[in-house]
Chains A and B, each alone.
Chain A
Amino acid sequence: MELDPLFLSRLQFAFVVSFHAIFPVFTIGLASYIAVLEGFAYKSDNPVWSILSRFWTRVFAVVFGMGVVSGIVMAFQFGTNWSNFSYTSANFLGPILSYEVVTAFFLEAAFLGVLLFGRGKVPPGVFLLSAILVATGTFISSFWILSANSWMQTPAGVEMRGDLLYVTSWMDAIFNASLPYRFAHMALASFLTAGFVVAGVSAWYLLLGREVRANRAALSMTLWLLLLIAPLQAWVGDLHGLNTLEHQPAKVSAMEGNWETRSNVPLLLFAWPDQETQSNRFEIGIPGAASWILTHDVNGIVPGLDQIAREDQPPVWPVFWSFRVMVGLGLLMIATAVAGLILRRNGAVYNTRWYLHSLRLMSITPFVAVLAGWFTTEIGRGPWLIYGIMRFEEGLTPSLQGWMALTTLIGYVLVYAIIFIAGLYYLMRLLRDGMESQPATEQEDAPSHRAKRPLSAVDVPFEEGAR
């Protein structure tokens, strides 16, 4: 069997980036949550806010550390597997990705240390400011990454001379057409992720009857947040979709499973898209609904894949299905948030066991939804690496052979599996350890002699019962 370096490189990149993305998507939202908790703690005398903040800062430290470790590989993937892409786009992507690293560098050097180790050692105002700056920093960092990705989706501000792209307008290139939508969509996704994880963990503690006061407070505030954010995300997602329709119609056609340009396009609930026959099998849909969503008119004409040459079409079924997974989970999140509102009467929300159990299960859904969303947008960009400018195969490293890509793919899977298992296992230990045993301030022994690494902020032993 011939090993295809292109397919294997795409698989490897998808694996590495998916694996990495789950950490920052959580920490970005969590950093904001911690900043809010610190704000409450600063304003009020109620001890629950600082109990919660201390606990979630510990979780933040571990997840942030895992994100940093898994991110190292990303910085080199562009060169090892996609050297032609890097060579062509370096004039823009080089500085942008460097700015991301520089921002992260700056953040870690300056404020993360204070957030993780400065509690009780710096004035409360300074501590609150550090928490806010860490949260801001995570957003700036993700801004650069999303700018780079959005530019690959909707390139602007560059011109090709020979086989190199040159930047003609940094403004146009950085603030390209899809960036505002993608950034807003991801920011809300981060809030949803952090919100559902906090809600799920609080629900779990409530089921066990642990630190009831603090966890009730946490559950209540996150449910309010989710009630606001989950529907907002649906609206922003819709805007993002309309923006995509304008700039990348083929992607939207694939998301809708729409092969034919016509009016009255149904919203498909189920279908098996078949690229060979350029049609769907087993279609079940709501007549006219897709036309209505995309053009706000049931008779609106929606472009289909028949407008796109076969070799320029994205693979339809993965885009179609990952989009449905994302939307389906999004609706489930809205339903969960609304159910929380209904159960709020008489405080039933804190002791309705089925609801707390379902919140516990829901905490995994934002991660799946985020990955499904990225699959939709990334596979839907196909066959373009830089939309309309460079195709996947043109970006590949010319000297790369199939067996090399396979070797590193297996290697990264193994390496990441070990990190992930160790990290997740440790995170579970941390959760089981809970909030009760936390020291009120940082340990007093030789305070200036503490290492300033994310994971050293946590002192729970690795093994069960080994404290």
Chain B
Amino acid sequence: MESMFDLVPIWAGIIGFGIIMYVLMDGFDLGQGILFPFARNEQDRDTMMNSVAPVWDGNETWLVLGGAGLLAAFPLVYTVFLPALYLGVFVLLAGLIFRGVAFEFRFKARTSKYLWSWSFSVGSILATFAQGAVVGSYIQGFETENFRYVGGAFDWLTPFTVLTGLGMIAGYALLGSTWLILKTEGALQDWAYRITPRLLVMVVAVFIVISIWTPLMDPMVMSRWFDQLSLIWLLPVGALISMAILVRALIKRQEALPFVATMGIFVFTYLGLAASKLPYIVPPSYTLWDAASAGESQLFLLIGLLFVIPFVLMYTAWTYWVFRGKVKAGMGYH
């Protein structure tokens, strides 16, 4: 469809921004669920939950907006990813619902509290694993014919995607633990300082294996990285510098920097992934332009979104501002 303006880059930017916003923001609160079983006691679990209580549902609305936005702007992504990850999507949604419900009722529960704790944790871990598997599937590519997914039910569950799923669990746990360093104090913060290096080791290990595995699996990625020395190498360097900053901040027991550095690791890895695969958005066959909806449809939604997004960002920033500072044990956010 001919259009006066090519809105595809703008929409790629919006959706790309939405995804990283979601990953960073829901990442640290899913991370609380991942760390839950390892927490030292119930009181720490209460504080962990309190540290994300004011913001977690706002974080998840980015996911719903992302789902609807993809259908509007890049319908092919929606209509290939969701069928290909059919069972994974179920795991993701069931996980998110369980943890959401558990979140609300755990605060109100007394005798049934352990049940909700358990649901919160299992739901968080399953949802995170599924998100990692989505990333892994994207790197792997999809079997398509005439713009339809024609692969099998378990193409999304391979050794590679299991690794990306586990990597995501480690990554969100790292976001979660550095968030706790930022938001808590005393024994819980000490605990977070202790577990963070271990989580970082896991993240680095997965990072290295995926970085080696991906070019071996995909010749396009191989050629982009190794045919000639290009600026693309700045991205993994950025990720490594972020890791170094994290280690230094942990040694100096800084409070805010570990979380910022962890976000840096995520952002650089994300950009590195984008630089490896784009413009292919449904690899190996379809680019952003193949996947895009009609220009006038993209324009129609863009008008409304340009009005709403600044507002939502302001509101989000305000919420985080209101709830800034340390969460103390026994302080109720519910």
For the complex, give the distance between the alpha carbons of A79 and B97 in Å. 18
Query: Which residues of A, 69-110, contact B by the 8 Å Cβ criterion?
Result: 69, 71-73, 75-76, 78-80, 83-84, 86-87, 90-95, 97-102, 105-106, 108-110
B135 is an interface residue with CB less than 8 A from chain A? no
**Contact status B153-A90, CB under 8 Å:** no
Q: A91 touching B97 by the CB < 8 A rule?
A: no
Total number of A residues with any Cβ neighbor in B under 8 Å = 68
Query: Which of B56, B111, B294, B322 is packed against the most chain A CB atoms within 10 Å?
Result: B294
Type the 1/0 row for B66-102, where 1 means its CB is closer than 8 Å to any CB of A: 0111011101101111111011011001101110110
Complex interface: chain A residues within 8 A of B65 (CB): 98, 101-102, 105
Q: For chain B, what secondary structure do more than half of its interface residues adopt (helix, strand, loop), or is it mixed?
A: helix
A-contact bits for B294-318, CB 8 A (1 contact / 0 none): 1011001100110010011001000
In the complex, which of the residues B89, B107, B112, B312 contacts A80, with contact meaning CB atoms closer than 8 Å?
B89
Verify B93–A72 contact, CB threshold 8 A.
yes
Closest to B53 in A: A451
Q: Is the CB of A448 within 8 A of B322?
A: yes
Inter-subunit contact B86/A80 (CB<8 Å) = yes
Known: A87-B79, A466-B110. A65 touches B104 (CB 8 A): yes
A79, A91, A110, A418: the one within 8 Å of B297 (CB): A91
Q: Is the CB of A83 within 8 A of B82?
A: yes
- The docked-state distance in angstroms from the alpha carbon of A108 to that of B107 is 21
- Confirm or deny: A461 has a beta carbon within 8 angstroms of a beta carbon on chain B: yes
> Which residues from chain B contact A90 at a C-beta distance below 8 Å?
71-72, 75, 78-79, 293, 297
CA distance A426 to B101 in the complex (A): 12
A173 to chain B, nearest CB (A): 10
- Would you call A455 and B94 a contact (CB within 8 A)? no
Given the known inter-chain contacts A78-B71, A83-B148, A84-B148, please indicate yes or no for A452 contacting B54, CB distance below 8 A. Answer: yes
- Determine which of B81, B90, B301, B312 lies in contact with A79 in the assembled complex, contact meaning CB atoms within 8 Å: B81
- Among B68, B305, B331, the one with the most A-chain Cβ atoms within 10 Å of its Cβ is B68
What are the residues of chain B within 8 A of A109 when measuring CB–CB? 58, 311-312, 315
Residue of A nearest to B98 (CB): A415
Contacts of A87 in B (CB 8 A): 75-76, 79, 147-148
Judge whether A463 is part of the interface by a CB distance below 8 angstroms: yes
Known contacts A86-B78, A105-B65, A110-B315; decide if A419 and B101 are in contact (CB<8 Å). yes
* Residue numbers in A under 8 Å from B73 (CB-CB): 94
Q: Tell me the residues in window 153-202 of chain B with beta carbons closer than 8 Å to chain A beta carbons.
A: 153
Known: A94-B73, A109-B315, A419-B101. A83 touches B108 (CB 8 A): no
Q: Which residues of A contact B312 (CB under 8 A)?
A: 105-106, 109
Please name 30 pairs of A and B residues whose Cβ atoms are closer than 8 Å in the assembled complex, sorted by A.
A69-B101, A83-B78, A83-B79, A83-B80, A83-B148, A83-B149, A87-B147, A90-B71, A91-B293, A91-B297, A95-B301, A97-B72, A102-B65, A102-B304, A102-B305, A102-B308, A109-B311, A398-B150, A399-B151, A400-B86, A401-B153, A404-B153, A415-B98, A453-B53, A453-B54, A453-B104, A456-B107, A456-B333, A461-B108, A462-B108
Across the A-B interface, the 5 shortest Cβ-Cβ residue pairs: A94-B72, A79-B82, A90-B75, A83-B79, A95-B301
Which residues of B line the A interface, CB within 8 A? 1, 53-54, 56-58, 60-61, 63-65, 67-69, 71-73, 75-76, 78-84, 86-87, 89-90, 93-94, 96-98, 100-101, 104-105, 107-112, 147-153, 293-294, 296-297, 300-301, 304-305, 308, 311-312, 315, 319, 322-323, 331, 333-334
